[in-house]
Chain A
Amino acid sequence: MKVNLVEKEVMDPLAESGQKNILLNDIPSPVHQISFFDNTKPGADIILNLLKTRLKQMDVIESKKPAGAAASKSQLEKAAEGDVSILALGDCGSCTTWVILDAIRLEKEGVPTLSICSHKFTPFARKLAQAHGAPNLRIVEIAHPIAGLDPEKVKEKTNFIIPEIEKILYNAD
């Protein structure tokens, strides 16, 4: 008798995603009101303040949210008053997570969003958005790091991304 020794198969430890795709909202044209959703990470206010000076024709609603946690209902409602919401800043693991997850919450409420994440965390931000059913979530990449920098350096980095943000906001149609 011939004997074939066969190794037993091993089972896959990876799980399937339990998330279904969501529809993203189009950016209206023109944008009248824009909400800035500041998670209080160092530099987030500098980025958003500089943006405010460049987007003069839009009314700005300012709202704050926790960095490593979900925005409260009232914080989210305030951010949802804008035609578009810009969230900043994802420059660490938990803050990137909650920038993206709160952006998705806003998208589900019908508010188009734009999330600013540092380039070291953008790949994770995109993977996270995909896992939560929003592979095309708008994410703008700013050079890492932001925290611990001189404000002028943060402004310099912000100036690099403003054209991309303007393009998204003004060329929406």
Chain B
Amino acid sequence: MSNKIPDNVDKSCGCLIEDLLTKSEDSKCTGQPENSDYNKRERIMVDPDVEKISLDFYQKKFTDGLPIIPPTRSRVNKFYQYSKGDPQEVMAILPPLQGKATREKIAVNGVMAGCLPHFMPLLEKAVMGLGDEKFNLAGVNSTTHPVAVCTIINGPVRNELEFNSKSGCLGPGNLPNATIGRAIRFCLINIAGAVPGIGDHSTMGSSSKYSYCFAENEEKSPWEPLNVERNILADSGAVTLLGMEAAHNVNDHRSQNASDLLDTIIHTAATPGCNNSHVPGELLVIMSPEHARTISDEGWEKKDVKKYIHQHAVVPVNLADRGGRKLDEIWCKENMVPITRKIDDVVIVVAGGPGRHTMLAHGFGTSCESVTLPLD
């Protein structure tokens, strides 16, 4: 590199940047006229150091352990541009610590998670859903069970925000899936108080607590999407929040008819040890397009599949009644207990790319109902 000072640099004071950095304050530019610009100080605001803030926030237990984007005012303000209303308005109260989820706090946590500003309306809506009493966030957050918040996106917003509903939709590799799921976790940690070991007592935690968000592959589904099933117009889209364990695979490449394939699914689902076995509740079935097609080609409607799974996914009472809460006899029939209480506890979505797999997620149990909210 040449030592020659470029012509466009002001050399009038005789100081180079190296001088400014290495010489003491007193020795710099002595003898400059009093009215020289040198004596003026200009503050230049720079973005905080990512490593420093990440470590600081990590030590304060504000993060999931991974680096974060520093939530500066300017970054948070960009999120407000996509939001309507006062940043201090409380969108939800989140238990267990009854934190006030204001727009500001949602945006701050969204920035930290790496969300883009235009994700803000969806993020707000998701947090509002968490505040619904029927979701039982107080229990979901604090339990020793490894339940996480699973977020499913439906409608045009999937393509507008470029969610992944296809191959690898459960991760990794897609920005909206990854960061919105992560932002929801940050809201749980920092607004609700679900700090692992303090407000979140999951015995081992779960990888699904880092992020657990995907979109339904509506284009490849033979059935109506989840939002339509829940009486929300297809055009408006929706966000659905479920209290679910991490998803568990059902590999079936050989079944050539609905009955065989569904038998594989129900035998994988009907296991003791899940909360559903002693406190029956929702079961999430994420079916690949190929599996869904095998079933639908025989004329099965979605409601038929839900009914079949509800009726056949059963666990023997002696194995089922080993959970934290005593199994209530009202669920038992002929010495068996269904892992779902009713047909609509079987929540089916079609997602993923090519391949003959379905994924199942057991829920938190009787006390946690999923919430679906329309997007504006």
Name A's B-contacting residues (CB within 8 A). Answer: 1-19, 39-42, 66-70, 92-98, 101, 121, 124, 127-128, 131-132, 147
Q: Are A42 and B100 in contact (CB under 8 A)?
A: no
Which residue in chain A gives the minimum CB-CB distance to B94? A15
The answer to whether A92 touches B73 (Cβ under 8 A) is: no
B177-211 contact mask (Cβ, 8 Å, vs A): 1 or 0: 00000000010001101000011111000000000
B136–A11 CB distance below 8 A: no
Instruction: Identify 5 new A-B residue pairs, CB closer than 8 A, beyond the known A12-B108, A41-B325, A97-B142.
Output: A2-B38, A10-B70, A15-B101, A39-B325, A98-B138
Check B139 for interface membership: any CB of A closer than 8 A.
Answer: yes
B104 at the interface (CB under 8 A from A): yes
Whether B374 is near chain A, meaning CB under 8 Å from some CB there, is: no
Q: Give every chain B residue within 8 A of A147 (Cβ-Cβ).
A: 324
What are the residues of chain B within 8 A of A127 when measuring CB–CB?
A: 97, 198-199
Query: How does the 8 Å CB contact mask read for B352-371 relative to A, with 1 for contact and 0 for none?
Result: 00000000000011111000
A68 touches B201 (CB 8 A): no
Q: Which residues of B contact A2 (CB under 8 A)?
A: 20, 38-42
Task: Tell me if B's interface is mostly helix, strand, loop or mixed.
Answer: mixed
6 smallest beta-carbon distances between A and B, as pairs: A69-B367, A93-B201, A15-B99, A94-B143, A94-B139, A93-B142
CB of B71 closer than 8 Å to a CB of A: yes
Q: Mark B84-105, 1 if CB is under 8 A from A, else 0.
A: 0000001001111111111011
B112 touches A13 (CB 8 A): yes
Interface size class of B (residues with CB under 8 A): 35 or more
List residues of chain A with CB within 8 A of the CB of B104: 11
* Chain A nearest CB, measured from B41 CB (Å): 5
Tell me the nearest residue of chain A to B201, going by C-beta.
A93
Q: Is the CB of A93 within 8 A of B200?
A: yes
Rounded to whole Å, the gap between the CB of A147 and the closest CB of chain B is 7
What are 30 inter-chain pairs, A to B, with CB distance below 8 A? A2-B41, A4-B41, A5-B46, A7-B47, A8-B70, A10-B48, A10-B53, A11-B72, A13-B191, A14-B62, A15-B99, A15-B100, A15-B101, A15-B105, A15-B191, A17-B99, A18-B90, A18-B93, A18-B98, A68-B324, A68-B365, A69-B367, A93-B143, A94-B145, A96-B142, A97-B95, A97-B141, A124-B142, A127-B198, A128-B199
